[in-house]
Structure 1
């Protein structure tokens, strides 16, 4: 089991010297690879996607965050979709300023769902881990990807849906830069003013400010205005803050590195589809509260 745990964190070729130094046992890189692959194949797939343990209706909302991470394979760059499910208890006093997108509070253990390939497989697995009818206050904080938004709206119609504050802020900053490129720079106070309006739930005022921004091409202004108008219900940051909710998707952005990239996106690495899928599965199980699946596996006489 220790060999597999080391392989989940280190390049296969680096594991043999670690095993020898820690346990005094000599193994080859091939042995490390084969035993790791065999262990992942033996993990019970149904248990990996079981409802997130420890999540209940009390005491805080259950968050679902979804994004994609690009990893290099024999067939080029491919996306691994990542879902993170966790419970967060907000502090007694909600933050009053915009930079505090992720207020301090108690964050429970996270369950991860990661899948390369078609989104239909990923969404099915995610809904098993976080059932739409679960007795909990469900909150989704996501970016502007349309497929994510449409799926979550359909599958979780009674949940709270929030558009990540930073993605909106980036679009507004890009608009200000585009206006400046046309020698019609927006006033220095323009961008901070729009951030403050967003944070106060005044997205309609932001739409108007974008439409009136001098130097911004009409097509760009129309596109950004439509984006803001379409997502009005997900931009009510004033109401979200009153409930002590997170308004940024930082937890799933961090998951790209802690779950995937730190092991699977090192310099020079290239994966076969099968090898990538198995390591993604292993790391998802180990980073979620599912260590027992691997422990139970090695307790069997056939281990």
Structure 2
């Protein structure tokens, strides 16, 4: 058996001689290699194992371990995270955000959907001015496939927060399926259209007439101020005055009108709420892209989902789900 101390021989009468989950690797080392496998590409994970643990473990072995445990924990990960004790549970506003990103698979590009749930109390401001901040803890949901299946997963993680009413705040790009999901799952939640997506649409209309110079910047800033003051009708009037292609103008105006009920930014800001979806945008980079969208990568759909499952597990601080499938962790737990 391969262990952190190198290969050792053990008697057939010992429990570990039966190769836990089919791997001739000690439980301790299995966990470490699975963590490396979800953290880095397999070749680099192999190099890290040799550097950090002094062991030579092939990339293909780490691949097999990662694939196995990514499948083993899937059903448990889909269940809602265990609610925190009352004295430590988040109070006040809880945010939820979701978006998709394309992954290259053997079947072509497929959209991987990612959700993020976090409490306002988890927001941290950097001590360095203008450096922004970070979110101390989040629960993530990841799915490579259709919107309906992702919606089921996200709804399960939102279940503990249904009683928050309007203090459950969902920020999105305005996609109809996300809106319908939240209206069905958490009908009392506050739904907000990400202001950057709103301004992106408005900006496309302004750019079509004004280009990218100072005049365009001034017009853009004026529309943003109007939006922040919840004056959507004035923005629509300004858009209708632009001598641009009717199809573009109508498309932008239709998008804004369809999201009118989610654009009361003045009220949102008075409540101290976030109005941008930067949290999910950054999550795409940290949860998915750094592992699943590296140069030259192309995935099987099954392989991508299993690695994404482990990424979500690790980034949600739920790694105990992996440990529960590995002895002696589950042996000790049973005892």
1:68 is the counterpart of 2:104: no
The 2-side partners of 1:219 and 1:65 are apart by 30
The 1-side partners of 2:170 and 2:106 are apart by 34
**Hey, what does 2:224 align to over in structure 1?**
195
**Hey, what does 2:155 align to over in structure 1?**
127
Against the structure 1 CA distance between its residues 123 and 212, is the aligned structure 2 distance closer, same or farther, given a 3 Å change threshold? same
**Secondary structure of 1:189's aligned partner:** helix
**Hey, what does 2:62 align to over in structure 1?**
32
Greater alpha carbon shift after TM alignment, 223-232 vs 111-120:
223-232
**Hey, what does 1:243 align to over in structure 2?**
271
For normalisation by structure 2, the TM-score amounts to 0.79
| 1:178, distance to aligned residue in structure 2 (A) | 0.8
Against the structure 1 CA distance between its residues 133 and 294, is the aligned structure 2 distance closer, same or farther, given a 3 Å change threshold? closer
| Equivalence map 1:101-120=2 (5 Å) | 107-120=135-148
Q: 1:155 aligns with which of 174, 179, 185?
A: 185
| Equivalence map 1:1-303=2 (5 Å) | 1-43=31-73, 45-51=75-81, 53-54=83-84, 59-89=91-121, 107-131=135-159, 134-136=162-164, 137-180=167-210, 189-213=218-242, 215-298=243-326, 299-300=329-330
**Secondary structure of 1:72's aligned partner:** strand
For normalisation by structure 1, the TM-score amounts to 0.87
* Greater Rg by CA: 2
**Secondary structure of 1:140's aligned partner:** strand
Greater alpha carbon shift after TM alignment, 3-12 vs 288-297:
288-297
**Secondary structure of 2:244's aligned partner:** coil
Unmatched runs of 5 consecutive residues or more in structure 1: 92-99
Against the structure 1 CA distance between its residues 148 and 40, is the aligned structure 2 distance closer, same or farther, given a 3 Å change threshold? same
**Secondary structure of 1:3's aligned partner:** helix
The 2-side partners of 1:170 and 1:111 are apart by 28
**Secondary structure of 1:109's aligned partner:** coil
Would the aligned equivalents of 1:179 and 1:186 in 2 still touch at CA under 8 Å?
no
Would the aligned equivalents of 1:65 and 1:84 in 2 still touch at CA under 8 Å?
yes
Greater alpha carbon shift after TM alignment, 53-62 vs 238-247:
53-62
The 2-side partners of 1:2 and 1:285 are apart by 14
Would the aligned equivalents of 2:94 and 2:169 in 1 still touch at CA under 8 Å?
yes
Would the aligned equivalents of 2:226 and 2:234 in 1 still touch at CA under 8 Å?
yes
Would the aligned equivalents of 2:112 and 2:143 in 1 still touch at CA under 8 Å?
yes
| 1:144, distance to aligned residue in structure 2 (A) | 2.5
Against the structure 1 CA distance between its residues 132 and 153, is the aligned structure 2 distance closer, same or farther, given a 3 Å change threshold? farther
Would the aligned equivalents of 1:6 and 1:15 in 2 still touch at CA under 8 Å?
yes
Aligned residue pair count: 288
Q: Which has the bigger relative contact order, CA under 8 A and spacing at least 6?
A: 1
| 1:222, distance to aligned residue in structure 2 (A) | 2.2
Unmatched runs of 5 consecutive residues or more in structure 2: 1-30, 124-129
The 2-side partners of 1:70 and 1:55 are apart by 37
| 1:261, distance to aligned residue in structure 2 (A) | 0.6
